[in-house]
Amino acid sequence: MRDITQADPKKYIIIKGAKVHNLNNLSVAIPRNKLVVITGVSGSGKSSLAFDTLYAEGQRRYVGSLSSYARQFLGRISKPEVEYIKGIAPAIAIEQKVNTKNPRSTVGTSTEIYEYIKLLYARIGKTISPISGEEVKRDSVTDVVDYILNIAENTKAMIVCPLAIKNREIKKQLSVLLQQGFSRVLIDGKTERIDTIINTHHDKEKEIKIIIDRIVIKKDSDTESRIGDSVQTAFYEGKDYCEIISFEGEETISKKFSAHFEKDQIKFEEPSVNFFSFNNPYGACKKCEGYGSVVGIDENLVIPDKNKSIYEGAVACWRGEKMSKWKDLLIMNAMEFDFPIHRPYYDLSEQERDTLWKGNKYFNGLDDFFKHLEAKSYKIQYRVMLSRYRGKTTCPACKGTRLRKDASFVKINNKSITDIILMPVKESYQFFKKIALNEHDKEIAKRLLKEITNRLEFLTEVGLGYLTLNRLSSSLSGGESQRINLATSLGSNLVGSMYILDEPSIGLHPRDTYRLVKVLEKLRDLGNTVIVVEHEEEVIKAADEIIDIGPFAGTHGGNLVFQGTFDELKNDTENLTAKYLTKQIEIPLPEKRRRWNDFIEIKGCSENNLKNIDVKFPLNTMTLVTGVSGSGKTSLVKKILYPALKKIHGGYGEKTGKFDRLCGEYEKIAFVEMIDQNPIGKSSRSNPVTYIKAFDDIRELFAVQSLAKLRGYKPGFFSFNVPGGRCEECQGEGVVKIEMQFMADIYLTCEECNGKRFKEEVLEVEYKGKNIADVLEMTISDAILFFSKEKTAATREKRILQKLQSLEDVGMGYVKLGQSANTLSGGEAQRIKLAFFLSKGNTSKQGLFIFDEPTTGLHFHDINKLLKSFNSLISLGHSIIIIEHNPEVIKSADWIIDIGPNGGDEGGDIIFEGTPEDLLHNKNSFTAPFIKEKINN
Ligand code: ADP
Ligand code: ADP
Ligand code: ZN
Ligand code: ZN
């Protein structure tokens, strides 16, 4: 370990005496401009070091450099508890969570690519009239002068402009013109002297033009400046219109100019950045108001089963006695226009589908059908019927791009901004790379194009070439959004920064870990310090330096137990991480795989990229769904299996993904639970013990203490959710929120209760020498010791113990009882949910539990514990389905369903179904090679 007093702050980030959370007066010198991996068991203090110390201090100093508004809070932003930090650079954290803050965020906006594309289109986009296909341009005085000077010398010409006829009499207007010094007008093409015609009768229908000037074209500077002045006058008098009439030999040539932005009698909007902003009312699509979807007839509801042919009743709304006459008409006449009524809907061509919807002279299509229903919607049964087929559909006006329609008139190299954001990233990358521009535009676009192509290239590089820029961020899988954040950081080309990442390998198949490592190395090679909290072996191997925090969790952790290279780590015989890496300790293979008879089968899955697959999920086993990122695991399990089963038991408003039908023993399942990584609560009011309902018992325990009884405190008095005993300044939160402009909100410790959340007098009530705030500060492990101190624990204490034990069993012993839900990681939240079900013990009802990457945040050591909890759930009679990439868990499966082979359109098939042993023989699975070494020795 490096001596921090000798380290040079130019080469190292030097931390002395860190005491944040469980950190045990930790000092460390972290090399700058290197790839550093921080590892250690869950709860050992990795995040406390990386995020709560390093990142927090980086941010704090950054705030100091900001506006005075932000600065006024600087003194109150709690400084991480640390003696000093030297050599720190501005800190950037790359989060692993999907950014759901802004529901309108897309791949394009979150990577800032859209920002640059908007600028590009606003600056060099050409507006093309959809009528003539010609460019729309505003004519300037120079344009007109240039035109005139291009006419052959000595040609006669007139500069004229329209006479805007006002309400007042023409005669009066003519006399004003006379006073202004004009002497001639054109009436229906004939030159007239104003003074001779002023007193004659004037037909209002006639077109009158003012002759501003008559010239003989000469290329000298005098004529030139006279022409310039006259054109300017013409534009002024003609309200931005003017006309040049030249007499070339026999011919009279007229050319009209307009300083308005118009063409083909249509006024166009001039491109600006806001014109392309769907977040702005000016740029948003008028039809969907910028949401990209509208409520309309949903094809998926009308044709729920695409395996059926028209004859078999594919069209759901044409079933039943009354409505089937619509279908019969089509079937009877289908011969006339060669319509394949016996072919499944999914096999119909684009054109045949179109016919089905639009109809023809032989039959009425679906569009007509729904118009008919609408026309009769005053009748309740028609209204009900209509509502059954209505759903959110892509907005037809903007094709889901949320932009006003005329935004797509603006083009660069024949492509509009909507074309760009609807194409896969790998195509738009090629488009911008090969773009052809004139010198003028090239100069303007140079920097923007570099920013755009850089970012698109990085997205392609991290394997996301199949996404479109229009894709909603909220619909991305965890792995996808993680890599987007990484690509964005690379694209921003910031140097000399400190990047801190939290388990970037989450959601990534081991096959792709090397790519991630390459990107991390690139970020470092740009001149940044890259600090990664990670458990994945491949990433640990790639580190320039490994920092191991431990040895265990919570109060038993918080020390620097190792610092050095991978080889050095392997030789450290004491180190727990090393013991797993060198296989001194191993997660054992299960003694035997569970066999199964019962299963649930889902047929015809075709949500997103799934290729119409039939999948069997065995019951009473641990089944793993594997495959590379974007292969379709989530689409299968979370979008189809979960909602389909949930709907059987009522409730679940969300749409079920596309599938055909459910078969097998699904009736044996009494309930289905998704144990996801969503927070167990968003506020600081929920915490592990409130979630598993242990806090109720703890509050009652305090309410029966003699001082509480004496003062008449009821259990509710010990709650921070209702007024009474809680601190009212912070309403029991312990912190107050300060909203900041341009950056994340800042939470400050409540000054009234010092973060203890309760009033002084409540804290006077003690149980075995501890008050309620003290108890909430204990870790689960410590609390178990505390409540079991007395051998003859009362039933209330026993209840508390039993619930706390289930948290301990899922490896959460290091967490504090009162630790706010919003400070728990996704993995921790997931394990607390698991604990809740384990604490319920034996029930007669069999459930199906679905987990999404439960090993997130887990060290090998913790995975061992987690697998034990899974086994106890199954022995209680439940079934488990897990989406996971971790080889340790995959090797422990009873059954594996491997989806692939690749991401996006190149995935969505079943590659393998069977036991881990059988997977080893599969040549097509990308998962097999990573299990091989785990099973073979
Ligand atoms: P790791 O990142 O290694 O999993 P953490 O740094 O998150 O570990 O946690 C180390 C210890 O600090 C744990 O005992 C944890 O419960 C505690 N801890 C983490 N965050 C907070 C917090 N916001 N408030 C109080 N204690 C915390
Ligand atoms: P996995 O869980 O295996 O990473 P997903 O099921 O999330 O994969 O995604 C499978 C494919 O479907 C990917 O190409 C993904 O981009 C696409 N996809 C997922 N959700 C949506 C959505 N809401 N809209 C459009 N495409 C989606
Ligand atoms: Zn729209
Ligand atoms: Zn308070």
**Which residues lie below 8 Å from residue 250, measured CB to CB, with a gap of 6+?**
none
Among protein residues, the one with the nearest Cα to ligand 2's atom 25 is 608
- Going from the Cα of 726 to the center of ligand 4, the distance in angstroms, rounded, reads 8
746-749 and 599-605 strand pairing: unpaired
Pocket of ligand 1 (CB under 6 A): 21-22, 40, 42-48, 553-554, 779, 814-816, 819, 823
C-alpha closest to that of 492 among 432, 525, 540, 450: 450
- Whether pLDDT at 582 is above 60: yes
Q: Note the pLDDT of residue 890.
A: 97
CA-CA distance, 242 to 224, in Å (whole number)?
A: 17
CA-CA distance, 899 to 109, in Å (whole number)?
A: 30
**Which residues lie below 8 Å from residue 571, measured CB to CB, with a gap of 6+?**
578
Q: Note the pLDDT of residue 25.
A: 97
Among protein residues, the one with the nearest Cα to ligand 2's atom 27 is 608
- Whether pLDDT at 32 is above 80: yes
The torsion of the CA quartet 673, 675, 676, 679, rounded to 10 degrees, works out to 110
Q: Which atom of ligand 1 is nearest to the CA of 816?
A: 16
Which residues have a beta carbon within 5 Å of ligand 4, which is an ion? Answer: 727, 729-730, 750, 752-753
Q: Which atom of ligand 2 is nearest to the CA of 475?
A: 23
- Going from the Cα of 676 to the center of ligand 2, the distance in angstroms, rounded, reads 17
C-alpha closest to that of 781 among 589, 553, 463, 591: 553
251, 242 contact by CB (below 8 A): no
- Going from the Cα of 235 to the center of ligand 1, the distance in angstroms, rounded, reads 72
Lowest mean pLDDT among 201-205, 212-216, 286-290, 466-470: 201-205
- Find tokens 């948290």 and name the residue: 807
Question: Does 162 sit behind a cis peptide bond, omega within 30 degrees of 0 on the bond before it?
Answer: no
Please tell me the number of the ligand nearest to residue 402's CA. Answer: 3
586, 847 contact by CB (below 8 A): no
- Going from the Cα of 681 to the center of ligand 1, the distance in angstroms, rounded, reads 17
- Going from the Cα of 104 to the center of ligand 3, the distance in angstroms, rounded, reads 13
Ligand 1 pocket test: which of 22, 38, 55 has the largest number of ligand atoms within 8 Å of its C-beta? 22
| Residue 402 to residues 130, 726, 866, Cα–Cα distance (Å) | 20, 47, 44
- Whether pLDDT at 937 is above 60: no
Q: What is the pLDDT of residues 444-498, one digit of tens each?
A: 999 999 999 989 998 987 878 889 999 998 888 766 887 888 888 887 777 888 9
Per the model's pLDDT, the better-predicted residue between 829 and 273 turns out to be: 273
- Going from the Cα of 470 to the center of ligand 2, the distance in angstroms, rounded, reads 14
> At 832, is the secondary structure helix, strand, or coil?
helix
- Going from the Cα of 850 to the center of ligand 2, the distance in angstroms, rounded, reads 18
Please tell me the number of the ligand nearest to residue 500's CA. Answer: 1
Structural element, H or E, at residue 581? helix 576-581
Going by pLDDT thresholds of 50, 70 and 90, the confidence category of residue 906 is confident
Among protein residues, the one with the nearest Cα to ligand 2's atom 5 is 632
- Going from the Cα of 528 to the center of ligand 1, the distance in angstroms, rounded, reads 26
Mean pLDDT of 798-826: 88
pTM of the model: 0.76
- Whether pLDDT at 661 is above 60: yes
Pocket of ligand 2 (CB under 6 A): 466-467, 475, 477, 479, 608-609, 627, 629-635, 903-904
β strands within 627-687, DSSP E: 661-664, 671-675
Lowest mean pLDDT among 54-58, 259-263, 410-414: 54-58
- Whether pLDDT at 799 is above 70: yes
